[in-house]
């Protein structure tokens, strides 16, 4: 019976974490470039309990030895195995703002080991000085006239922040920043060949698990993309599906809760009513 407590409780915890993940997705449905999290739930690894016994051999010295008798398998509940971002292109919408930039993937090779398609991102300089990555193309100019994404300077192909004089500038589909007809820099686009090596850093940023720098996709003949000025990539969250999944998670949580309450009532009777002397 106590095992039932743990099984029901683990199911409730898993559904609670799933609900938190879905709530975060819904909250970022209008965040440019946001990539929805998706979860994988699985049972805890099964255990194979054994009964420890002590046997003695019929010898003059009465040698004793231990043996194990399998009892059966025990499953200890469920848990959220991992939360993996959904690396898919979001809807491209027009804003009319010269600073907005949508990164449109056209051809990106697959990873030979995982079979998953690679992912393109902008390289930015985070507050800690390290290079991070984002798909948030809602760019702005800071006080130093640097092109930034949520306050993080966007990096050029030379690894330096991009500075433009004034707001009258054009950006070509290849990422060349043109000011008064002069090419001042080229926006760098990085390739994540293995998306499993990416983790969310917060505030729309990603980093690599091994803290390595992603290679540039500029000049790579196997990759085709285009930058669209005056457009922005929206979140790839599906609100209708997210609300449906949240309702499913809530009902599963409620079912485990009722199971837990049933076990609690059974324990109450076992402790306070069974065997009572009247």
Give pLDDT tens digits for 106-162.
999 998 888 889 999 999 999 888 999 999 999 999 988 999 999 999 999 999 999
Range of the domain at 26: 2-83+246-272
117 plus 66 within the same structural domain:
no
In whole angstroms, give the CA distance from residue 170 to residue 184: 11
214 plus 251 within the same structural domain:
no
Q: Which of 226, 210, 215, 209 is nearest to 193 (CA)?
A: 215
Q: Which residue has the higher pLDDT, 67 or 226?
A: 226
Band of residue 270 on the pLDDT scale cut at 50, 70, 90:
confident
Q: What is the pLDDT of residue 218?
A: 94
Q: Which residue has the higher pLDDT, 40 or 120?
A: 120
Q: Across the chain, where does the E strand assignment appear?
A: 37-43, 50-56, 64-70, 78-85, 92-94, 101-107, 119-125, 131-134, 139-141, 147-149, 152-153, 170-171, 176-179, 182-186, 189-192, 198-202, 205-208, 224-229, 231-233
105 plus 229 within the same structural domain:
yes
Q: What is the pLDDT of residue 7?
A: 82
Contacts of 120 (CB under 8 A, 6+ apart): 103, 105, 108, 189, 190, 191, 192, 217, 223, 225
Q: What is the pLDDT of residue 211?
A: 87
Band of residue 1 on the pLDDT scale cut at 50, 70, 90:
low
103 plus 196 within the same structural domain:
yes
95 plus 220 within the same structural domain:
yes
Q: Which residues pair with 123 in a beta bridge?
A: 133
Q: Alpha carbon of 129 to those of 42, 125, 155: distances in Å?
A: 38, 6, 12
72 plus 93 within the same structural domain:
no
Answer yes or no: is pLDDT of 68 > 70. Answer: yes
109 plus 142 within the same structural domain:
yes
Number of domains, the chain: 2
Q: Residues 93, 94, 96, CA angle at the centre, nearest 5°?
A: 155
Q: What is the pLDDT of residue 52?
A: 72
Q: What is the pLDDT of residue 54?
A: 66
- CB-based contact 119:195 (threshold 8 Å): yes
139 plus 44 within the same structural domain:
no
193 plus 99 within the same structural domain:
yes
Is residue 240 domain-resident?
no
Q: What is the pTM of this model?
A: 0.80
Averaged pLDDT of the chain: 87
Q: Looking at the chain, how many residues does it have?
A: 278
């Amino acid at each position: 019976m106590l095992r039932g407590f743990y099984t029901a409780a683990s199911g409730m915890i898993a559904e609670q974490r799933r609900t938190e993940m879905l709530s975060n997705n819904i909250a970022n449905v209008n965040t440019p470039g946001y990539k929805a999290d998706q979860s994988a739930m699985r049972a805890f690894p099964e255990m194979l309990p054994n009964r420890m016994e002590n046997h003695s051999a019929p010898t003059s010295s009465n040698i004793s030895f231990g043996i194990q008798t399998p009892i059966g398998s025990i499953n200890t509940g469920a848990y959220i195995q991992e939360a993996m971002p959904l690396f898919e292109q979001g809807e491209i919408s027009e804003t009319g703002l010269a600073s907005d930039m949508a990164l449109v993937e056209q051809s990106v090779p697959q990873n030979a080991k995982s079979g998953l398609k690679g992912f393109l991102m902008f390289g930015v300089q985070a507050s800690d000085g390290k290079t991070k990555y984002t798909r948030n193309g809602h760019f702005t100019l800071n006080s130093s006239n640097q092109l930034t994404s949520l306050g993080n300077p966007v990096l050029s192909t030379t690894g330096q922040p991009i500075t433009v004089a004034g707001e009258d500038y054009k950006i070509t589909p290849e990422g060349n920043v043109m000011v008064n007809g002069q090419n001042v820099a080229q926006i760098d686009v990085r390739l994540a060949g293995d998306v499993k090596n990416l983790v969310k850093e917060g505030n729309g940023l990603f980093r690599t698990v091994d803290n390595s720098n992603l290679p540039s996709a500029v000049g790579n003949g196997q990759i085709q993309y285009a930058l669209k000025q005056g457009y922005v990539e929206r979140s790839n969250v599906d609100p209708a599906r997210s609300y449906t999944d949240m309702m499913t998670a809530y009902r599963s949580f409620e079912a485990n809760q009722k199971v837990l309450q049933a076990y609690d009532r059974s324990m109450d009777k076992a402790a306070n009513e069974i065997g009572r002397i009247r």
